[in-house]
Amino acid sequence: MLRDLLQQRRSIRSFTDAPVSKETIDILLQCALLSPSSRSIRPWEFIVVDEPELIRKLSRAKEHGSAFMAGAPAAIVVAGLPEVSDVWIEDSAIAASNLLLAAEDLGLGACWIQIRLRTSADGGSSEEYVRETLNIPASRSVEAVIALGHPNQRMSQCSLDNLEWQKVSYNRRP
């Protein structure tokens, strides 16, 4: 059941050298493209990056938290289209989340790298850095980069015993 997958999924930041096959990338993209979106506008684009030089360049997109991507065989950039939907952030985030879950389901490791509102290693905007690196026009906002690969680390699965039930209430807040 989905809960088991959600318990198993952890952010993976270390990958083997094995490439991710085109068939696997296609399934990941199907899962992203099947995501729900407000008014079914689907205000997103996905850019698959598998050229090592480009991945190394993208790994400098942030001052902190993106360097590990240099060792990933693939990444999928999730870009949003603010001009076509006012809720592109929500829609793009759902698609990015589905990519993480699909990667786990396929036995891959993945990690979300936040780009929007972040600063690159050279002090500029992370979004601008990714746009320039991949020829993404200014009409697209870069939500996140999902680093992908075959896991080279084992992470413990999440326990059901320490969930924050205090953040849940029924009907009215206590």
Report the SS3 class of residue 149: strand
Residues near ligand FMN (CB under 6 A), total: 9
C-alpha dihedral, 66 to 72 to 74 to 80, nearest 10°: -10
Indicate whether 14 belongs to the interface with ligand FMN (CB under 6 A): no
Least separation in angstroms between CB 6 and ligand FMN: 9
Contact window for ligand FMN (CB under 6 A) among 20-28, 31-39, 77-85, 107-115: 107-115
**Shortest Cβ contact with ligand FMN: which residue?**
65
Residue from 108, 111, 136, 148 in contact with ligand FMN (CB under 6 A): 111
Q: What is the C-alpha to C-alpha distance for residues 97 and 30, in angstroms, rounded to an integer? A: 13
Question: Cα dist. 165→7, 112, 161, 169 in Å?
Answer: 16, 25, 10, 8
Question: Cα dist. 146→13, 33, 83, 107, 118 in Å?
Answer: 11, 15, 23, 15, 15
Residue from 10, 42, 57, 131 in contact with ligand FMN (CB under 6 A): 10
Residue from 112, 131, 142, 148 in contact with ligand FMN (CB under 6 A): 112
Least separation in angstroms between CB 33 and ligand FMN: 20
Indicate whether 129 belongs to the interface with ligand FMN (CB under 6 A): no
Least separation in angstroms between CB 137 and ligand FMN: 23
Indicate whether 119 belongs to the interface with ligand FMN (CB under 6 A): no
Q: Using CB under 6 A, list all residues that contact ligand FMN.
A: 10-11, 13, 62, 65, 111-114
